[in-house]
Structure 1
Amino acid sequence: MTHEPFSVDWLGVEDPWVGISVDLVTLQSIVCQVLHIPTTQSGPPVAIGLDQQANYARIYSFRLPSRTVIARLVAPVKPLFKTESEVAAMDFVRSHTPLPVPKVFAYCSEASNPVGTEWLLMEHMPGVELGGAWDDLQLPQKRRLALDLIGVYDQLFRLKIAAMEAVVFCIFTPIEEPLLTVPSPSQMLPTFTTDDYVKLVAFNGNPSTRSDYDFPTCEKCVELFQSIHNLYLNSTVFGPAADASNFRFSHGDLHDGNILIDLQSGAITGIIDWEAAAFHSSWVEVCGVGWFEEDRQQFIIGSDEPRNFDDDTAPEDTFRTELHRRNPDLFSCFLGAVELCAVLHAAVDDPRPLGETDIFLNRYYRLGYWKADRRGAFPWDMEAWQHRHMDLDELNMKRIDSLKRAQANTCAA
């Protein structure tokens, strides 16, 4: 934890590429060298989605005589480690499953290269992003998507190790400020228990890089998680006893922007962005089908109020029924680990003002999700914590006002 009073975690910038000079001509030359074609037969680099990307990745496509290839450029956020990990994860999944994962032709994990930043050259995957296509899909296509999604979870679930060997740390996109700092590799030590993993991601490294303002809230999330986790002491799926035998491989960031689909059939045609992939507890990944709204219906997610299953539609029914038929353990994770996933989600949220961790904790308590008649007393004095948080809010506002006055004085001078 930082010792400077109420210091922010990281003063981010609107564009992390400021000061970085990317040589696209050299990149095009490398594409041609790797794929053994003359430079004259390569189309120019075409930017993909740069108008929507204020983050650390830039994507370009190159049209060649017989194919289109993708170049992914990465700003120097967690240098070397991030690119090496992503390439290893993609190769691992491609070699152990039939999932549609891009083939990597070449990469450079050192920023000091002629292109000017780390890069990956990989095959182009067909299809469109699920997030942009969902509203245009009809029920038959959504059913096909649900079945394919179950196949993705099922295939990754089969990749098992005896205990977690390493964690690829969450990367927080530097879009607004303040955000989380990126811990050094020395702060991302391998974890071998769920408890250690939750602490690592909640505190943003070990030692923590959370600010004095955000650390107390994240600490309470960890305490709540531990209290819930210990309710399942004898569970071979959710509890501490599962740590020795039930870590499975997961994508780590499987949202609707990282899944490509065919618009005509709804079939999944590609799964991209594997930099957060790792072996996790088996329940971590499957509770993430946000495009079906199921996790939001079951539990509080951020500041959203929970709902119920009364308004279920066919794709959701298909997902649950087929998941139970194909992999009962995965179904147990999906249906039974929602509370654990929700607390984990809150623990790793961005710092205030973007993050909603404190809102989650207040709603969790107010709506009675901790069943005191069955579980005993709440893990801490909630009223005392709320007063403490209000004190932190007041002190932080004074700090912000002081910084604004200092900035105004500097401008006036």
Structure 2
Amino acid sequence: MSFAVEEMPHEGSTSENSEEPAAIPTFSDTTPPYQDDPTYGLQWTSDEDPFSPIPHWTIEPTVGSVVLALKKAVSPDKEYTVDHCWDGVYNKIYSVLYDQKRFIMRVSLPVCPQLKTESEVATLQWIYDNTNLPVPRVQCYDSSRSNPIGFEWILMDRMEGVPLSQCWHSVTQDCKVRIVKQVAAYAAVAFERQFRAHRGIIARMLNLINRLQTLGDKFFPAPNFNPEQHLNREDDISSDEDEAAASGIEKPHESTMLWNDNISLDNILVDEQGVLRGIIDWECVSCLPLYEACQFPAFLQQARDRLAEPPTPYRVNRTQHVTNQSLREYEIELRQHHVSMLRKEFFVEMKDRCPQWVRVFRYQADLRDYEAAVQNCDNEFAYEMVERWATSVEEGSAFDEGHGRLHELLMD
């Protein structure tokens, strides 16, 4: 059983023996355009929604240029077969075959030049070195654009299997529990091996935010604006840290941990027996404060738990016709129930492996609510709930929206 990209249509293939010319993007012989413009080749369009621009390629990489890049990076003496598989939002995916081994190459738009590629490579290496979670092994990469493709790329092992989202109903609950425990083991290691973020940097960022807020009043003055009456917003952070930096004293730090917010059913690959074969898509993984990172992985997140198994439609409607709608509702409720049971298994596993994670999860939920409020205060579908939450906090009363936390209810 192979990864789903094999089933998707592709746009041609090539090998080093094919007659297709090794076409590459047309760049200047002296100074490539991207040296003056790091985002050269990327265009943002917002025809449908001006607030949600969509990236587009203005230069199309070719399979011939991919072969040339492989010859340069791996070996000029090997025979390479390259197939264009599919296009993601920011990437083009290619299947690569050489030495009777299959790999995946991802060519990326310059959304965050260099840093995005190097961050993902470092993340995958950290996961490989510190956990038993099966993730793609990076074979080689180029975080520059000085290569035949003209874009950044990563070559990694091909993870066999199918997404759990495509076989959820055929995989047993026991297999799902085993996967949950494997993800919990990774979460425990991530918690135990925390990173450090200097508060001095955070203080400077907060100070910059306040300065920009002040400047905003000058760029967009209110009617009858009087600069002399303008309030001077002082940074709440003490200047002690600046003095410490000047004296060489070590700054205090904020503990952070690696957090992948996209361990979803689409990115969990399993084999025919439901055994975990790999977890893919480690782009844009961040190190977040513990209160934000100590939460359920994406495939276990839901607004409310359903602890009781829903009755099957034929028990409810013995004398009535079972409609497709009732079957769909039953399937949704049954999945919610299964996820609720898996959430309990995840929590029990974390209690055994990392009790500190559980304490952060329980006692810093208010901070997760505040973060969710900030992220959704301009969401037209959620701001009323955020308003009610803010009112309850201001009044010192309990927020009661069906016995759920704000950050969980906003998942619904």
> If the length of structure 1 is used for normalisation, what is the TM-score?
0.57
Structure showing greater Rg? 2
Q: Which amino acid aligns with 2:157?
A: E
Is 1:365 the equivalent of 2:398?
no
Asked if the contact 1:69/1:123 (under 8 Å) is kept, the reply is: yes
Q: Which amino acid aligns with 2:197?
A: M
What's 2:355 paired with? 328
Query: What is the rounded CA distance, in whole Å, between the counterparts of 2:337 and 2:107 in structure 1?
Result: 42
Is 1:316 the equivalent of 2:343?
yes
The verdict on how the C-alpha distance between 1:165 and 1:359 changes in structure 2, with shifts beyond 3 A counting, is same
The verdict on how the C-alpha distance between 1:289 and 1:365 changes in structure 2, with shifts beyond 3 A counting, is same
What's 2:118 paired with? 84
Is 1:149 the equivalent of 2:180?
no
The verdict on how the C-alpha distance between 1:339 and 1:12 changes in structure 2, with shifts beyond 3 A counting, is same
Query: What is the rounded CA distance, in whole Å, between the counterparts of 1:207 and 1:132 in structure 2?
Result: 47
Query: What is the rounded CA distance, in whole Å, between the counterparts of 2:359 and 2:391 in structure 1?
Result: 19
Query: Alignment partner for residue 281 of structure 2, among 264, 269, 273?
Result: 273
> How far does residue 257 in structure 1 lie from its aligned partner after superposition?
5.9
Q: Which runs of 5+ in 2 are unaligned?
A: 1-48, 221-250, 306-332, 399-412
Query: What is the rounded CA distance, in whole Å, between the counterparts of 1:347 and 1:365 in structure 2?
Result: 11
Query: What is the rounded CA distance, in whole Å, between the counterparts of 2:133 and 2:184 in structure 1?
Result: 12
Query: What is the rounded CA distance, in whole Å, between the counterparts of 2:198 and 2:289 in structure 1?
Result: 12
The verdict on how the C-alpha distance between 1:369 and 1:75 changes in structure 2, with shifts beyond 3 A counting, is same
Asked if the contact 1:32/1:39 (under 8 Å) is kept, the reply is: yes
> How far does residue 10 in structure 1 lie from its aligned partner after superposition?
7.1
Query: What is the rounded CA distance, in whole Å, between the counterparts of 1:33 and 1:322 in structure 2?
Result: 46
Specify the SS of the correspondent of 1:333: helix
Specify the SS of the correspondent of 1:121: strand
Specify the SS of the correspondent of 1:164: strand
Q: Which amino acid aligns with 1:164?
A: A
Query: Alignment partner for residue 100 of structure 2, among 53, 59, 66?
Result: 66
What's 2:269 paired with? 261
What's 2:371 paired with? 344
> How far does residue 153 in structure 1 lie from its aligned partner after superposition?
0.6
How many residues are aligned here? 288
What's 2:300 paired with? 292
Query: What is the rounded CA distance, in whole Å, between the counterparts of 2:131 and 2:337 in structure 1?
Result: 35
Asked if the contact 1:129/1:258 (under 8 Å) is kept, the reply is: yes
Query: What is the rounded CA distance, in whole Å, between the counterparts of 1:206 and 1:151 in structure 2?
Result: 43
The verdict on how the C-alpha distance between 1:373 and 1:21 changes in structure 2, with shifts beyond 3 A counting, is closer
> How far does residue 133 in structure 1 lie from its aligned partner after superposition?
3.9
> How far does residue 82 in structure 1 lie from its aligned partner after superposition?
1.4
The verdict on how the C-alpha distance between 1:356 and 1:129 changes in structure 2, with shifts beyond 3 A counting, is farther
Q: Which amino acid aligns with 2:384?
A: N
Query: What is the rounded CA distance, in whole Å, between the counterparts of 2:295 and 2:394 in structure 1?
Result: 25
> How far does residue 68 in structure 1 lie from its aligned partner after superposition?
0.9
Asked if the contact 1:253/1:276 (under 8 Å) is kept, the reply is: no
Structure with more strand by fraction: 2
Q: Deviations over 1:332-389 (max 9, x none)?
A: 333444443344245346xxxxx9635434213336883556469xxxxxxxxxxxxx
Q: Which amino acid aligns with 1:328?
A: P
1:12-411 mapped onto 2 (5 Å cutoff)? 14-17=54-57, 19-36=58-75, 38=77, 40=79, 42-48=80-86, 50=87, 53=88, 55-161=89-195, 163-164=196-197, 191-192=201-202, 244=252, 247-256=255-264, 259-294=267-302, 296-297=303-304, 313-348=340-375, 357-366=379-388, 370-371=392-393, 374=396
Asked if the contact 2:175/2:275 (under 8 Å) is kept, the reply is: yes
Q: Which amino acid aligns with 1:254?
A: N
> How far does residue 132 in structure 1 lie from its aligned partner after superposition?
3.8
Q: Which runs of 5+ in 1 are unaligned?
A: 1-8, 167-189, 216-242, 299-306, 350-354, 377-413
The verdict on how the C-alpha distance between 1:367 and 1:78 changes in structure 2, with shifts beyond 3 A counting, is closer
Q: Which amino acid aligns with 2:110?
A: P
Asked if the contact 1:45/1:60 (under 8 Å) is kept, the reply is: yes
The verdict on how the C-alpha distance between 1:108 and 1:60 changes in structure 2, with shifts beyond 3 A counting, is same
Q: Deviations over 1:5-38 (max 9, x none)?
A: xxxx977654521x12213212123335544475
Q: Which amino acid aligns with 2:120?
A: E
- Kindly, what percent of the aligned residue pairs are identical? 22
Specify the SS of the correspondent of 1:325: helix
> If the length of structure 2 is used for normalisation, what is the TM-score?
0.57
Asked if the contact 1:149/1:268 (under 8 Å) is kept, the reply is: no
The verdict on how the C-alpha distance between 1:356 and 1:126 changes in structure 2, with shifts beyond 3 A counting, is farther
Query: What is the rounded CA distance, in whole Å, between the counterparts of 2:378 and 2:395 in structure 1?
Result: 28
Asked if the contact 1:32/1:38 (under 8 Å) is kept, the reply is: yes
Query: What is the rounded CA distance, in whole Å, between the counterparts of 2:77 and 2:284 in structure 1?
Result: 35
Q: CA RMSD in A?
A: 4.2
Q: Which amino acid aligns with 1:333?
A: V
Q: Deviations over 1:201-254 (max 9, x none)?
A: xx8x9969xx99xx9xxxxxxxxxxxxxxxxxxxxxxxxxxx956623313433
Asked if the contact 1:69/1:121 (under 8 Å) is kept, the reply is: yes
Q: Deviations over 1:135-170 (max 9, x none)?
A: 443211211121111012112112223x3159xxxx
The verdict on how the C-alpha distance between 1:108 and 1:281 changes in structure 2, with shifts beyond 3 A counting, is same
